[in-house]
Structure 1
Amino acid sequence: RLVIYPNGDNNNGKEGDYISVKLAMVDTSSMPKNWEVNAIVNIFLYNHISGNYIYSPGRARPFQITQSEWGFSKFISKKSMFDPSNGYLMNDSCVFGAEVFVVKREAVTECLSLNSVHPPPSYKHDCKISNFKKLEGRWESEEFSAGGHKWYVCVHPKGNKEATGKAVSIYLHYLGSNVSTHFGRVKTSFTISVINHGYCAHKKRTTTCSFSASWASLGWDSFIDLATINDPKQGFLVRDCIRVSVEISFLNSALTFNSSWI
């Protein structure tokens, strides 16, 4: 069912700034234990003036017993919604719609492995990026293995999202298990470094993340300023090449066994 919060769902900033619209699963009594439904949700709002719809394209979301509602906290501002010249309200009425694509429905069972006695194992991988100043868009490393899982590093030399034109963006991507076709859930602590070839320190950033099929990428939009990395005196860029190193420590992992029931 479609759930509309006219005054917001309390997750969108100031009270009443936005209208929240979400899709909720109902009548899940027939679902198997530990059920999960992965679905792509698109929400629509009809424009009475143009005769068209505005929509917020969604991405795959895992509907579960603990999270059976997904959508958009900031679907549209109340200011835009209530402005009669925009055409969303007609005679104090509006028309919302939803489009749902079910990707897969499955029961989920996990086998958790904890590293509580010995220090967590650590793996390191180095990447050399040539012709750095000439690169456009994104650069991806070759796939590599660490801790029985597959990974790759993604670099945006000119920046990504709000960092475009300001900083280099770097992310670590999870591709799943080496030994199983099932995606696991892997809790890691990882450090990404841009190597300094001079006398200055490497540029390092560290974070912790539980990677999974629904959370397969994490990193930094603003990893290092473009002005810094392109300055030859700083020691990061040598002969138009940089080196990026990633070190991954595994805190625990859970193999997810999916029992499809479509």
Structure 2
Amino acid sequence: MSRETTCATPTNLLMKVQSFSSFSKCGIDKFESRAFESGDYKWKMIIYPNGYYGDDDNISVYFYIADTYSLTVDSDFKAIITFYIYNQKKDKYSSFRGTARFNVLKTKWGISKVISKKTLMDPSNGYVRDDICVFGAEVFVIKKQHPIGEFLRLVEHTTPTKHKWTIPNFSKVEDVWGSEEFFVGHHKWKVNLHPKGVASLPKGRYMSFFLEPRGFPPHRRVKAEVSMHIISVLNGLERSKTYNHWFTASGEERGFPKFIEIADMIAGGFLHRDCCFVEVEITVQAIAKADH
């Protein structure tokens, strides 16, 4: 059980008791609250002014499921239960919180010694004023959930997989050139190349180069190191860029909008007879997937 002070008002139940000191005189050894609902169940709070066994100098409080008929043999859950006592002097609540398990055999939980009557009745503490005391309650049912499963496989000492393409009529491709789908690490991929750059860039200044995952299963993620190359067949020069990325089932492509300027392609001999020669090297480093 934990104890703290809070300004928050209890959300499930507020009980105002007038002439609190008269409990014993009236022959009331316990008092049950009205039923309140929380987590698809009805609950009641019981105050024992002289303790649970009737011979104690401490106040006891218990909670129980009022509609036990709603419980089945398979019913089994936990609930966070909070009991409040209003401090009228400080305008705050002292809260007492615990977690309990409930099922068809265990429908009741409580605190046998929540506060001593001496502490409660002492006017300097602020809990009772003009013989009036205010209690509160909250019950938060923790729904039973099955955790999702995930399996992560780290790939060590893997061999990079290379794919090469020759793109003819480079200058005549208006929007995007897309490769055929290919497999690396049992996953499909595709290369997208924009000879005149993506729409957000000045048209005709850059060549944009991307790798796109294709048809990944739901909840699949693949971490890969990707090296993208453009090669000159005339002088053997190569322009390369590398990145690491977690590719997902969303199919979002990843690469370089400004892979190379068109002017540099022409000056460096990367275009031969209007053909462009590109290569992608993929090294799969990790695979995360749903584990059912």
Whole-Å separation in 2 of the counterparts to 1:131 and 1:139: 11
Q: Is the 8 A contact 2:195 2:204 kept in 1?
A: no
Among 273, 283, 287, the residue aligned to 1:239: 273
Q: Is the 8 A contact 2:212 2:251 kept in 1?
A: no
What's the CA shift for 1:196?
1.4
Aligned to 1:219: 255
> Against the structure 1 CA distance between its residues 249 and 123, is the aligned structure 2 distance closer, same or farther, given a 3 Å change threshold?
same
What is the TM-score with the length of structure 1 in the denominator?
Answer: 0.52
> Against the structure 1 CA distance between its residues 186 and 126, is the aligned structure 2 distance closer, same or farther, given a 3 Å change threshold?
same
Aligned to 1:41: none
Q: Is the 8 A contact 1:142 1:152 kept in 2?
A: yes
Among 144, 165, 168, the residue aligned to 2:204: 165
Question: For residue 241 of structure 1, what is the amino acid of its counterpart?
Answer: C
Q: Is the 8 A contact 2:231 2:239 kept in 1?
A: yes
1:112 aligns with 2:146: no
What's the CA shift for 1:213?
1.9
Alignment root-mean-square deviation, CA = 2.1
What's the CA shift for 1:217?
1.1
Q: Percent identity?
A: 35
Q: What does the per-residue CA deviation read over 1:132-161, in whole Å, with 9 as the maximum and x for residues that have no partner?
A: 011101110000001110000001100112
Question: For residue 149 of structure 1, what is the amino acid of its counterpart?
Answer: H
What's the CA shift for 1:239?
1.3
Aligned to 2:181: 143
Q: What does the per-residue CA deviation read over 1:94-150, in whole Å, with 9 as the maximum and x for residues that have no partner?
A: xxxxxxxxxxxxx853211112xx413311111110000111011100000011100
Question: For residue 281 of structure 2, what is the amino acid of its counterpart?
Answer: E
Q: Is the 8 A contact 2:188 2:214 kept in 1?
A: yes
Whole-Å separation in 1 of the counterparts to 2:172 and 2:204: 14
Query: Secondary structure of the equivalent of 2:196?
Result: coil
Q: What does the per-residue CA deviation read over 1:211-261, in whole Å, with 9 as the maximum and x for residues that have no partner?
A: 002363100010010112134xx2211111111100000111012368xxx
Question: For residue 196 of structure 1, what is the amino acid of its counterpart?
Answer: S
> Against the structure 1 CA distance between its residues 156 and 197, is the aligned structure 2 distance closer, same or farther, given a 3 Å change threshold?
same
What is the TM-score with the length of structure 2 in the denominator?
Answer: 0.47
Whole-Å separation in 2 of the counterparts to 1:131 and 1:256: 43
Aligned to 1:131: 169
Aligned to 1:197: 233
Question: For residue 252 of structure 1, what is the amino acid of its counterpart?
Answer: A
Aligned residues: 146
Aligned to 1:248: 282
Q: Is the 8 A contact 1:185 1:256 kept in 2?
A: no
Q: What does the per-residue CA deviation read over 1:29-75, in whole Å, with 9 as the maximum and x for residues that have no partner?
A: 9xxxxxxxxxxxxxxxxxxxxxxxxxxxxxxxxxxxxxxxxxxxxxx
> Structure 1: which 5+ residue stretches go unaligned?
1-28, 30-106
Whole-Å separation in 1 of the counterparts to 2:202 and 2:193: 12
Q: Is the 8 A contact 1:173 1:218 kept in 2?
A: yes
Q: Is the 8 A contact 1:186 1:210 kept in 2?
A: yes
User: Higher Cα Rg: structure 1 or 2?
Assistant: 2
Query: Secondary structure of the equivalent of 2:201?
Result: helix
Q: Is the 8 A contact 1:159 1:165 kept in 2?
A: yes
1:208 aligns with 2:247: no
Whole-Å separation in 2 of the counterparts to 1:228 and 1:138: 20
